[in-house]
Amino acid sequence: MTFAQRLHTVQKKSNSLLCIGLDTDMKKIPKHLQSKKNGVLEFNKQIIESTKDLACAYKINFAFYEVMGKDGWTIIEKTRALIPSSILTIADAKRGDIGNSSGYYANAILHELNFDSITVAPYMGKDSVQPFLQDEKKGVFLLALTSNEGAFDFQYQQIGHRKLFEEVVAISQQWTTNENLGFVVGATKSTDIQSVRKLAPAAPFLVPGIGAQGGSIEDVVKYGCTSDGFGVLINASRSILYASNGKDFADAARNEAMKLRDEINFFRKRLIR
């Protein structure tokens, strides 16, 4: 089963396009956990336990863990082990290098840590991305159109008759036939998602920018989903993780995740009528 096939199966079975970002910040977790040695891991555990029936994927942003040194890597490994095998895992590591470096990154994250997929930067081109694409069961989300303000520095530069982000999408699809290449497309660039979908009709999209960043769920579903209402992982992090800073944080996270899942599905039903 290719990554794209597995993603479709997981989303159909869970009836969810929601991806929960475990961008866990020690400074923002409830105070009763900040003083605990394994506070971040305990926080992640409770978030996963309270939301695992609502999400199709969890995304772990490596930066929030790498800052903790070797302890952070241990937490990544243990958090990954807490996520049920029926749910996809995304290593938000934004790797991308040439030659053996990319090969080692791919092996470390996709095989040693056993993540199902990874975010990769395309700036260094084909040979920096292909090592991540070798295993058809493992997915790659290539940074195409991001939700930050700096996206306008390069991504919207005109290259011939296309913008640079459109060139990235068009050219990179020639690098694999394994049905495991997807794209990161920011929710705050709603109408431009349509441009990416036209260039990549079947590719999965990882869409950050919902929730705290203010992206439109309706627009993401309308412009990003495939005609059958799948193909998009809509990520929310802060709005779910920090829905409460008290001991009820896991229940509050569940309520927020359910709200988002249901809102996404409301617009999906309108799409596929």
Q: Could you tell me which of 183, 180, 262, 187 has the C-alpha nearest to residue 222?
A: 187
Q: Which residues are catalytic?
A: 94
- Provide the domain count of the chain: 1
pLDDT at residue 137 tops 80 = yes
C-alpha distances in angstroms, 144 versus 94, 176, 177, 196, 230? 12, 16, 19, 9, 19
- Tokens for 68, please give them: 């903790």
**Which residue segment(s) compose the domain that 195 sits in?**
3-271
Mean pLDDT of 77-88: 98
CB neighbourhood size of 53 (10 A): 15
Place 190 in a pLDDT band, splitting at 50, 70 and 90. confident
pLDDT in tens, 230-240: 999 999 999 99
What is the structure's pLDDT at 209? 80
- Burial label, 227 (beta-carbon count in 10 A; 0-12, 13-18, 19+): exposed
Is the separation of the CB atoms in 13 and 86 below 8 Å?
Answer: yes
Read off the pTM: 0.96
- d(C-alpha 194, C-alpha 81), whole Å: 36
Instruction: Give the residue from 83, 92, 69, 80 showing the smallest Cα distance to 23.
Output: 92
Report whether pLDDT(211) > 80: no
> Would you say 232 and 220 are in contact if contact means Cβ atoms under 8 Å apart?
yes
Determine contact, residues 18/210, Cβ cutoff 8 Å: no
d(C-alpha 138, C-alpha 55), whole Å: 19
CATH number, domain of 8, equals 3.20.20.70
